[in-house]
Structure 1
Amino acid sequence: MTALEASARALPGRAEAAPPWKIWTALWIVYIVWGSTYLAIALMVETIPPLLGAGTRFIAVGLILLPILAWRRGASVWRPTRAELLSAGFVGLMLPGANAVISVAEKTVPSGLAALLVASIPLWVILLRRVSGERISWRSIGAVLVGFGGLVLLLHPSGDATIIGLLACVGAALMWAIGSFASPRISLPRDPLVSTAWQSLLGGMAVFACGLIGGEVGDVHFAAFSGRSIFGLLYLITFGSLLAFTSYAWLLQNAPISKVSTYAYVNPVVAIALGWLFLDEGVSATTIIGALIIVGSVALVIRSEAKPKAT
């Protein structure tokens, strides 16, 4: 069972007959908005320090969501157990932390290339499941090996991209995979929105603290913040985190997991197209080949994992 499946099965009252138009509306929100967050990050880090910007993003999300959820679901939202708080803090370090690493990396790595490297997340999840002793089909293992071949192909510095920035993107993908793998196995708040709110708040605070320790305060010049960067930050808060995640959480309850998972190989295509269109990011033959290999291998993994297993 994948981490995505585990999250879906953990949610109570999953509907089986949501109208197709609602499912496809939510899917396209996740496709386009999550794919566009790489462009928004690139805009944000033009004049806003990456760790402080990413920390602000997730702290804001937590502070927006928690009061709304408390109003709708009761004051218990503010009283997670110690185990739930520790678990949310760990996942917050992994998931929002991964976004923060991407924010730093995109100072040198083109947004489309960053999205491609991060698209390897499902491959890392399969590897973690195998290491943990779970049985994985040979088809999935083969797809993972091919996908990592495409990953190696993309780890070739070109233009402003540095090997450190490229490896940071790979590290961020691994962090996200660890957080996704751990989520159904630890004591997170049962409500996915409450869980995400605490993950965002705690992870954002940790990222913001790293920015302070790393000396980013000296790079804060409010008068120099461009309209593009401010727009990027606001877009990440409102559309990237609040709108897209709400749609994603709803999909987990109302759509087949195989259909929900398709975001993993649509997002990088959207990111590459937007990077080329708005940031004049070049698309080399190597990038195209690597994209086809990684996206194809992720598609094979998702299809293989979605097939019913013989009992």
Structure 2
Amino acid sequence: MPAPAPRVSLTLLAAFFALYFIWGSTYLVIRIGVESWPPMLMAGCRFLIAGALLFAWALWRGARLPGLKQWLSAGAVGILLLSCGNGGVTVAEHWGVASGVAALAVATVPLFTLVFARLFGQRNSLLEWSGIGLGLFGIVLLNLGSNLKGSPAGAALILFAAAAWAFGSVWSRRLPLPAGPMASAVEMLVGGVALLLGSQLGGEHLQQWPDTRGWLALAYLVLFGSIIAFSAYLYLLSHVRPAAATSYAFVNPAVAVLLGVCFAGEHIGWPEALAMAVIIGAVLLISLPQWWRREGD
């Protein structure tokens, strides 16, 4: 007897909710966290703790230990998505990039995803290429704003982080990864270790013990930003097309900007506001026509 469709739909909706709203809030939480933590140290602790908890839970549920090839594959994806992707965003916010602007720059992930998917043989439609062109125009507008002008290195780092995340997302669909939550666990463990090594090599150290806000930020990022939302993202990558899985990018900026303005005193100028409209329009252009389509449909 086939599985009832409503259950699948509810699972997908829950996964999209986790991506859209939980991940949208993590930009502000990262901004709060890096006030008390060195950026790579915080990101490394976040993923190492989350990965260890998820790894133990998967083993308790009867998951098999990954083989060497699976460890290498999941580790490579973890370094791209978490060490380069999320770690890059964390460092950029430590350098002064506003949380809402960081989320807006990361909104270019679906555009990079289409480019890398093309390298792996997926054909892009004229509508998708139009979205890429519109998104590139949005990036130009974004860099006209004062937030990224004040930190050119932060701007470059965030775009690199978005490209690394997109490449890792596309590549992960062609790699022999562990099944289920074990894939998330291994990626977080390897990504977390890589970030902690980067923290040591970069000379990071705690100036003083993190305050209560810093610890709460780390706890939120471990539980909600990593275990729940990242697992939901990997679930979507295996059930919908990459552009649909990365469509969180057109909701996250709005959530992050609203929270940043309300709770962190951030200000968004007209270039950023216009860039938000253009980039979100570009992501909608490439995502909506293929919202529920699977790869190969």
Task: Give the TM-score taking structure 2 as reference length.
Answer: 0.89
Aligned-pair distance for 1:14? 7.9
Which amino acid letter does the alignment assign opposite residue 222 of structure 2? I
For 1:20 and 1:106, how far apart are their aligned partners in 2?
A: 35
1:33-112 alignment to 2 at 5 Å? 33-74=22-63, 76=64, 79-97=65-83, 98-107=85-94, 108-112=96-100
Aligned match of 2:155 = 166
Kept in 1: contact 2:145–2:269 (CA 8 A) = no
Are positions 1:118 and 2:106 aligned together? yes
Are positions 1:290 and 2:275 aligned together? yes
Aligned match of 1:151 = 139
Aligned match of 1:130 = 118
Provide Cα deviations, 1:38-71, integer angstroms capped at 9, x if missing partner. Answer: 0011011112000011000000011101111101
Kept in 2: contact 1:139–1:304 (CA 8 A) = no
1:131/1:159 CA distance change after superposition, 3 Å: closer
Provide Cα deviations, 1:143-175, integer angstroms capped at 9, x if missing partner. Answer: 101101101111236258401101111110001
Kept in 2: contact 1:15–1:254 (CA 8 A) = no
Provide Cα deviations, 1:186-241, integer angstroms capped at 9, x if missing partner. Answer: 1211x231101000001100110000011002xx1343x22222221111001111
Aligned-pair distance for 1:23? 5.3
Kept in 2: contact 1:155–1:167 (CA 8 A) = no
For 1:146 and 1:261, how far apart are their aligned partners in 2?
A: 17
Gaps of 5+ in 2: none
Equivalent pairs, count: 292
Kept in 2: contact 1:52–1:208 (CA 8 A) = yes
For 1:21 and 1:305, how far apart are their aligned partners in 2?
A: 19
Which amino acid letter does the alignment assign opposite residue 203 of structure 2? G
Are positions 1:177 and 2:166 aligned together? yes
For 1:58 and 1:29, how far apart are their aligned partners in 2?
A: 17
Aligned match of 1:30 = 19
1:55/1:257 CA distance change after superposition, 3 Å: closer
Aligned-pair distance for 1:131? 3.3
* Between 174-183 and 153-162, the greater mean CA deviation after superposition: 153-162
* Between 111-120 and 262-271, the greater mean CA deviation after superposition: 262-271
> Equivalent of 1:277, from 262, 268, 274?
262
Which amino acid letter does the alignment assign opposite residue 89 of structure 1? G
Which amino acid letter does the alignment assign opposite residue 56 of structure 2? P
SS in 2 for 1:202: helix
Task: Give the TM-score taking structure 1 as reference length.
Answer: 0.85
1:213/1:125 CA distance change after superposition, 3 Å: same
Q: Percent identity?
A: 34
For 1:251 and 1:15, how far apart are their aligned partners in 2?
A: 19
For 1:255 and 1:51, how far apart are their aligned partners in 2?
A: 31
For 1:250 and 1:126, how far apart are their aligned partners in 2?
A: 19
For 2:264 and 2:30, how far apart are their aligned partners in 1?
A: 12
Provide Cα deviations, 1:90-136, integer angstroms capped at 9, x if missing partner. Answer: 10110111111111000210000000000110100111122344321
Kept in 2: contact 1:121–1:177 (CA 8 A) = yes
Aligned match of 2:286 = 301
Gaps of 5+ in 1: 1-12
Which amino acid letter does the alignment assign opposite residue 58 of structure 1? F
**Superposition CA RMSD, Å:** 2.7
Aligned match of 1:236 = 221
Kept in 1: contact 2:250–2:280 (CA 8 A) = yes
For 1:22 and 1:62, how far apart are their aligned partners in 2?
A: 22
> Equivalent of 2:197, from 209, 221, 236?
209
